Each structure stands twice: as C-alpha cells, then as structure tokens.
Amino acid sequence: MLIRVVAAGINRPDVQQRRGLYPPPPGASDIPGLDVAGLVEEIGPGVETLKVGMPVCALVNGGGYAEFCLAPAVQCMSIPRGLNFIEGASLPEVFFTAWNNLIWLARLSEGEALLIHGGTSGVGMAGIQIAWHLRRAMIFATAGNLEKREVCLAIGASAAVDYRSDWDDEIRGLTDGAGVDVILDGQAGPNTQRQLDLLKTDGRLVFIASHEGETAEVNIRSLVRRRLTITGSTLRPRPSDYKGRLARELVTHVWPLIEDGRIKTHIHQAVAFHQVKDAHVILDENRQIGKVVLIVDPAIATTVPEPKQLR
C-alpha cells in the first residue's frame, strides 16, 4: 500500500545508515525513515483491512523521509485515539523494537528485575513503560544527566543511574547484591562482561546495537554455569508476517494503554522537512529525550485524526 506521509520518525538506525554502518536490506528503499504516520493513498491487490483516506501509522522497511512511502499492509496500525500525526509517527519503530526484544526475546516475566541502558531513548522510554504497565517489573535505567534520570523515574523506573558511573555496582546495591534478570543494551563492546556479571542465574542480555564495539571478551565458563542467554536482533530484515504479528500484539496490548494515558509518547522535537540535518544533529549529540519527528505535511501534522479500527 502507499501512504501519503504526514510525519516520519527519526531513529538511531537512520543515523547509522547515514554513516554507512547500516545498509538497507535487499529490496528496501535507500531513503532513510523506518516509521511514518499519514493517510492511505493507494491500496494494492488483496488488501482488505485498509481503505483510501484512512489514517495510519506504520513500521516501514525504508523510505519514510518522503512525501509518499510504500508499506506492507500488515505493518500498518491505527493511530491511537487522541494522538495527532506527529505523535503517531513516534510510535512504530520504538514500540516494535521494545516489544520484540523485551517480550518476545527476553521473555520478561511478571515482577522480574530489568536494566535498560539509555532510558530516555525512544526505545528506552517505550521499554520502561511496557515493562512497568504490563509486567510490573522492577526497572533500572541508565541516563546521562539528572533531567533524563528524572524522566526515567517519572515513567516507571525504580531507579536511574549515570551510565558514566559504576552503574553495575550501584544496581547491585539497589538489589541487595542480587542483580537483574534482563538487560536491554545498545552499546556492547568492553562493558559486555560487566553486564553478564550483573545478571542473575538464568538471566538474559539482549543487544539491539553495538555502538561501543562489535566484539567483546566474555567468561564462557560463568555463562554456562549460570545458564545465561545472550541474544540480539534487528527488525528491518525480518519478513512482513513477523512484523505483522508484532503489530497485532501492540494494537491489542499497548494501544489501549496509550489511549487511556497510562503509556505516553514523548516528542523531544518536531522538525520541518527541510531541517532534517538539524534533526540528525540532535541524535548525533545524544540530546534527545524520547523521539525526534520529521514534519512532512505541516498543514495537518498536528491534526488528531478520527479513529478508524483496523481489523
């Protein structure tokens, strides 16, 4: 299907693609942009759940920084009731990523202890809220300044620590030495063994990136003895039916919590289309709290569309 884009999310993978570190998979657009909100412009054969003119937000395989963008129909979702197009564009990439990694891969269970690095990134904020509202987890987060740490606490974290500190020792102290069950991380590199040492027996370490280094030396004997799991994921190369299942679970479990105000999206800044370079600088300098969104159609970007249910 074809979407007339009203707003598009700016995400860390876009920055990595710009730097030449995250090439699009075969067949995907080489234009950046992995989540959009807009109006259905055209429908391909066999699509029965969408109608022309319907407002949607979607996880796309690339091409979001544009006036029109192709998307598999199964990756399209209704914009939660009460949200405008800018807010709708802030949802897909971060909530797909958080749900895929915390719920599906890490198997986060009720009441477990969780550490999220980068708590005020888009994925971090989505992950904290999912873990709190749907798993009642004990959540710890890292963030680089007091303002960011206060945001983590406000959305559900039990404690937030400076990632430049001895964060692992601080969290051991906060858990009476027990550590945590799950860690969600995008840094990897030399901190990998510190993270494994912080896990409880049967703990799970999930990587969504490797910004601090592609390789790490780890103690395999300890990993085996304590039955630890190291895993990771990228969503972009996954087939549409996989992403479609994620979309359905988000609409079922997360969208109602957004609509009643329990889960919130945080827009750090909405930037005009011609200022896309400025938007990337915000991420380059790690200034963002939540999502930066690109406004493609300013005439209706702040409009709250009439909700229409997607089957």
Q: Which residue has the tokens 């993978």?
A: 13
Q: Domains of the chain, with CATH numbers?
A: 2-91+238-295 (3.90.180.10), 94-232 (3.40.50.720)
pLDDT tens digit sequence for 133-160: 999 999 999 999 999 999 999 999 999 9
Long-range CB pairs of 150-154 (<8 Å, 24+ gap) are: 151/119, 151/120, 151/125, 151/266, 151/289, 152/119, 152/120, 152/124, 152/128
Mean pLDDT value across the chain? 95
Reduced to 3 states, what is the DSSP secondary structure of residue 285?
coil
DSSP codes of every residue in 199-242: EEEEEEEEES--TTBS-----HHHHHHTT-EEEE--STTS-HHH
pLDDT tens digit sequence for 288-309: 999 999 999 999 999 999 866 5
Query: What's the confidence (pLDDT) of residue 308?
Result: 66
pLDDT tens digit sequence for 174-211: 999 999 999 999 999 999 999 999 999 999 999 999 98
* pLDDT at residue 212 tops 60: yes
Pick the closest to residue 115 from 99, 103, 136, 131 (CA basis). Answer: 131
Maximum Cα interatomic distance, the chain, rounded to a whole number of Å: 59
Q: How far apart are CA 301 and CA 172, in angstroms?
A: 45
Per-position b or e across 277-303, b if 16+ CB within 10 A of its CB: eebbebbeeeebbbbbbbbbbeeebee
| pTM for this entry | 0.95
Q: How far apart are CA 167 and CA 109, in angstroms?
A: 23
pLDDT tens digit sequence for 10-63: 999 999 999 998 888 888 999 999 999 999 999 999 998 899 999 999 999 999
Cross-strand pairs, 204: 182, 229
Evaluate whether 114 touches 182 at the Cβ level (below 8 Å): yes
For the chain, how many residues are written?
A: 311
Confidence at 311, pLDDT banded by 50, 70, 90: very low
Q: What angle do CA 179, 123, 110 make, to 5 degrees?
A: 45
